[in-house]
Amino acid sequence: MSNPVIQVENIGKMYRIGQVQGEYVDETLLSDVVIKTLTAPIRRLRNPDQFNALQEEFWALRNISFEVNQGEVVGMIGPNGAGKSTMLKILSRITQPTEGRAIIRGRVGSLLEVGTGFHQELTGRENVYMNGAILGMNKAEIDRKFDEIIDFSGVEQFIDTPVKRYSSGMHVRLAFAVAAHLDPEVMLVDEVLAVGDVAFQRKCLGKMGEVAQSGRTVILVSHQMEAILSLCPRTIWLDNGRIRSEGPSEEVVREYLAAMHEARTQTDIADRADRKGTGTVRFTDFRVQNEGGQVVGAIPTGDTVDFVLSYVAPDGPVVDASVWFWLRDPFTGRRLITCWSYLTGQDFMELPDKGELICRVPNFPLAPGQYSVDLTIRVERDTADKLLDAAKIDVVPGDFFGTGRKLKTVGDFVLVHDWRLNT
């Protein structure tokens, strides 16, 4: 059996951060290390008692081991601060591990900080050649791919304009186009699908799909679960600098989203100060349950789910209440679905002082992705409580049609339909 393309063996990365005479010191930066070393004798003489200030050791990664084989596309997920970017920087040789080792066999292309190497005084054309060289391309490769890079970026009209005159969006487009058209054997990609506008994000996702199907080895870090599920058969979940789970993407993502849901306590909604309304009724929690009553962190497309809205009425029972929520596209803010008791003729003539309002949605129709939730309750035609972006829900591929075939990305919605042949 051939050796893995990427071998990570007991990697650990420690940062030492402390306070010396009220001055921040990060010993991972070369400039701080040099200044600290040169000025240490003087500072020790001037302040012998304060010199030995408390320094904290922070382990960004600890005991990380995994392997990636040729042609594998592996996702890496986790909350902010979990160590994902640090892991990719170690694999890219940008920083060295404190312990352990990482072995990579093959030419590496890294999309860690899109735009690194761009010079503001140079034109877009000049930056393409310079940035391509920094990322490992020779002139012949850049010449061959130049038209494709410019076409992908959409800035051909301004290619001979200094990039200091580019908008931030144009800068990002050109930088990603250069980086995405590399032909490395190994690609390390850190959250580049979150840049630019919605249309360009989708374009980036399509390009990453081509890369994933080309047989190259890829590690993709992303907070977009739709991208992970679409591109990566296997996923690693990092949490507090350690591997919490590793395996098939659908299982790991489902586990991760469930954990994120559990981390949202009831006080998140109950204590929100940005609500609007009279306050005669207040939402205290929002959760999603399956048909068995179990709380779920993600909804498989096509499943029957219950949306549970917990509430309190501080001044006692109320009468003539209607409740609704919207599911919105978090990128555009566009409302996709409205569930409103008034429309179904199921308003509540009387609500006790606390309880749960449950909305059941059979055959859930939204395609995989993440959506925002807005909540509203009205009492006697007055808004009692309104919370925008009260929660997030994640939708994952599901067997919508009961055929054993789980859809991935097919648009925003899935429709019940069938086919027949007419001859």
**Does pLDDT of 26 surpass 50?**
no
pLDDT at 21 over 80: no
- CA nearest to 379, candidates 357, 411, 397: 357
Indicate whether 160 pLDDT > 60: yes
> What local confidence, expressed as pLDDT, does residue 377 receive?
96
pLDDT for 356: 95
The pLDDT of 54-72, averaged and rounded, is 87
Q: Quick one: average pLDDT of 139-148?
A: 90
Res. 47 pLDDT band, cuts 50 70 90: low
Do the Cβ atoms of 123 and 174 come closer than 8 Å?
no
pLDDT digits (tens, 9 = 90+) for 371-420: 889 999 999 989 999 998 888 888 988 888 888 888 766 678 888 888 88
Positive or negative torsion for Cα 259, 265, 266, 269: negative
Q: Is the predicted pLDDT of residue 277 greater than 90, yes or no?
A: yes
Do the domains 266-396 and 61-259 match in fold? no
pLDDT value of residue 196: 58
Which tokens go with 193?
């699908």
pLDDT, mean of residues 134-163: 88
At residue 55, the pLDDT reads 58
> Is residue 24 predicted with pLDDT exceeding 50?
no
Q: What is the DSSP string of 274-297?
A: S-BS-SSSEEEEEEEEETTS-B-S
pLDDT in tens, 290-322: 999 999 988 999 999 999 999 999 999 999 999
CA 266 to CA 264: how far, in whole Å? 7
Residue with token string 């050109």: 174
**What is the pLDDT at residue 312?**
96
- Domain boundaries of the chain, sorted by first residue: 61-259, 266-396
**Is residue 283 predicted with pLDDT exceeding 80?**
yes
State the average pLDDT over residues 36-60: 63
| Range with top average pLDDT, 146-160, 168-182, 209-223 | 146-160
User: How does DSSP classify residue 165?
Assistant: G
Per-residue model confidence as pLDDT tens digits over 115-126:
666 788 999 999
- Average confidence (pLDDT) over 71-95: 91
* Better-predicted residue by pLDDT, 201 or 79: 79
pLDDT at residue 114 in the model: 60
Average pLDDT on 267-284 reads: 88
Q: What is the reported pLDDT for 247?
A: 95
Domain 266-396, CATH: 2.70.50.60
Contact of 360 with 305, CB cutoff 8 Å: yes
The residue ranking higher by pLDDT, 142 or 258, is 142
Residue 265 has pLDDT above 50, yes or no: no
Alpha carbon 45 to chain centroid, angstroms: 49
Superfamily of domain 61-259: P-loop containing nucleotide triphosphate hydrolases (3.40.50.300)
Least confident of 149-163, 186-200, 351-365: 186-200
The pTM for the full model equals: 0.63
Neighbours of 137 (CB within 10 A): 22
The predicted structure's pLDDT at residue 12: 95
Residue 210: its H or E element? helix 198-213
Phi, psi of 249 (to 5 degrees): -55, -40
What pLDDT sits at residue 75?
94
What mean pLDDT comes out for the span 231-247?
94
Q: Which residues have C-beta within 8 Å of that of residue 345, sequence separation ≥ 6?
A: none
**Beta-strand relationship, 186-190 and 108-111:** parallel
pLDDT beyond 50 at 22 = no
Cβ contact 157:123 at 8 Å: no
